[in-house]
Amino acid sequence: MSDYQIRLLEESETRAAHTVFLGSMHNAPASDESWELGSRGYPTQRCFGAFRAGRIVGSAQSFPSTMAVPGGAVLPLAAVSRVGVRADHTRRGVLTELMRAQLRQIRELGEPLASLHASESVIYGRFGYGVACRGRTVEVEASRGRPVPPLPGVGEVRILDTEELATELPRIYERIGLHRPGMMSRPRGWWLMQLERRLALKERIIAIVHSGPDGDDGYALYETTMVDAAPDRQDRRIDVFDMHGVSLGVVLGLWRFLLGADLVRSVRAWLRPLDEPVELILPNRGDCRTANLEDETWLRLVDVPTALAARTYGVAEPVVLEVHDRFLPENSGRYRVGKDGVERTDAPADLELPVDALAMLFLGDLPASQLAATGKLVPHEPAALERADRLFSTARSPHSGTFF
């Protein structure tokens, strides 16, 4: 690494860094129009580049956000993306040094959490990231003459005009709020990159909005895809890529509307929460299948004591966790975790784990007993596993629902 330099990018270097990132994903450079909108989401002061002989060969960027943790607290979050190294410079420690510089900056900025979506699951564990949320891709056969029964509650669904999407959807998302562990805020730059850029490129995107007694309280954003139904005809599939509501009832109301659409063979929704029971609203549960179960959010506890102290815990006697963090050694140590709070301690450890396994436990996605059974956590006091399961459990499975 002695002939590489890791530093923050100048404004004039950000597009070249983005091209390096796209190339690492085997994609072509962004068009002028796509770059004009997509470049606004990542502040230059958070964009790192790796340079060799004056040429950019690696990139790691982030933007500021917030994330809800169990109990309802919302913590500052670094949303990490555009991470990549040119294929002719990999396996030389470039990514490691990019991650090291970025994590140091995130900690200095006072953001106790960082998250990302991993292109390959083998990459980020060594930097302290662990899978904290998972999602399932659900495909449901449309009603085909068997309408979904009415659901409890009062509400109606309308389709937005295309010109309303850029103003109405951010407003509704803000109103819905971060009510589930793992949900994150969406700054203006996110909407520019993920929605307005696509609208400017004339992509066909459709949005429906659910309204209840108190106003707009949920939405679904989707595309339609032609699928072969028979040699002599085609049907459409609705592909949902963004759906949120203030309650489960609202989300299921959106599902019911989509499943009743004419000329639609199926509805496919990407990375839905694990506890979203679409099957229960169908006349035939067999019309719903899980097409895929995937990692959704990779989480990094950048400031372990701050993150642990921010969430709430179940009713159980405390456990002492011994945490190891190679990249940020100031996080390493023992923490007594209980329903009354968190504190550093010199007491003997009940459970020992690396910081990436702590991320898997933190939002409530996996219990400590499962992590121990797979070797990701070492129990020094076996009875502590049951206590940790109760302490870290959550009423709802964690889910972000925001891709970046």
pLDDT tens track for 282-323: 988 999 999 999 999 999 999 999 999 999 999 999 999 999
What are the phi and psi torsion angles at 272 (to 5°)?
A: -85, 160
- To the question of whether residue 157 is assigned a binding role by annotation, the answer is no
**pTM of the predicted protein model:** 0.95
- What is residue 209's predicted lDDT score, i.e. its pLDDT? 98
Query: What is the separation, in whole angstroms, between the first and last Cα of the chain?
Result: 29
Residue 96 labeled ligand binder: yes
- 266 lies in some domain: yes
Q: What is the spatial distance between Cα 201 and Cα 195, in angstroms, rounded to a whole number?
A: 10
Is the same domain home to 260 and 139? yes
> Is residue 374 in a domain?
yes
Known binding residue 95? Answer is yes
Q: Are 11 and 44 in contact (CB under 8 A)?
A: yes
Same domain flag for 111 and 145 = no
Catalytic choice (48, 124, 173, 313) = 124
Q: Active site includes 129?
A: no
SS3 sequence, 173-230? HHHHCCCCCCCECCCHHHHHHHHHHHHHCCCCCEEEEEEECCEEEEEEEEEEEEEEEE
Q: Which of 240, 222, 220, 219 has its CA nearest to residue 175? A: 219
pLDDT of residue 33: 87
Distance CA 105, CA 117 (A): 19
Is 134 annotated in a binding site? The answer is no
Residue in 42, 219, 257, 404 annotated catalytic: 404
Average pLDDT of each block of 10 consecutive residues along the chain (404 residues)?
93 96 96 85 94 97 98 98 97 97 98 96 96 97 74 92 98 98 97 93 96 97 85 81 97 95 93 96 92 97 98 98 98 97 98 98 98 98 97 97 96
Instruction: Say how far apart CA 377 and CA 374 lie, in whole Å.
Output: 8
- 323: CATH: 3.30.1050.10
CA-CA distance, 171 to 290, in Å (whole number)? 31
Question: CATH number of the domain that 71 lies in?
Answer: 3.40.630.30
Question: Is position 264 annotated in a ligand binding site?
Answer: no
- Residue at a domain's end among 103, 128, 153: 128
**Is 48 assigned a catalytic role?**
no
DSSP string for residues in 32-93: HHHHHHHGGGS-GGGEEEEEETTEEEEEEEEEEEEEE-TTS-EEEEEEEEEEEE-GGG-SSS
Give domain status of residue 404, yes or no.
no
